[in-house]
Amino acid sequence: MVKSIALSLLVMTMVGCVSIDSAESLAAEGKWQAIGESDGVRGLPSRSLSDLAELAQKAGVASANVGNYESGYMLGVDKYCDVNNAYDIGLSGFRYLGVCANAPDGLRFQMEYQRGFEDFQSADQTF
């Protein structure tokens, strides 16, 4: 259990390091699935078609591969929405943006996240 949580936090930290500049680099390399997975695993909403087109333009490519982006995004969201990670995500202070609402355990995820976020806020106020 502890190893699973530690691994999940490590993955989220590593993927969280992907900046907009890195997304442009990935787009230039045609790695749209990696961009989608990065967005999903960080709990971000899916990018709109216009956002993807703008990213493609900035990267100097003709167009975004929306299908690859979406498949990567769904992989990332599946990882993010793991109920076993929810408390730790909340405890870290990250805001939950509702991406797990339609997941099978979406309500349970939100409850565990909220419990962690409340503990985060309580700890923050003790200093």
Mean pLDDT value across the chain: 87
Residue 96 clears pLDDT 60, i.e. is over it: yes
Burial class (CB in 10 A: 0-12, 13-18, 19+), 111: middle
CA 38 to chain centre: 6
Contact 61, 28 (CB under 8 A): yes
pLDDT band, residue 21 (cuts 50/70/90): low
Sign of the torsion formed by the C-alpha atoms of 24, 81, 17 and 4: negative
Give pLDDT, residue 123: 85
List pLDDT tens digits, range 54-86.
999 999 999 999 999 999 999 999 999 999 999
Burial class (CB in 10 A: 0-12, 13-18, 19+), 10: exposed
Question: For the whole model, what pTM was predicted?
Answer: 0.79
In angstroms and rounded to an integer, the radius of gyration of the C-alpha atoms of the chain is 16
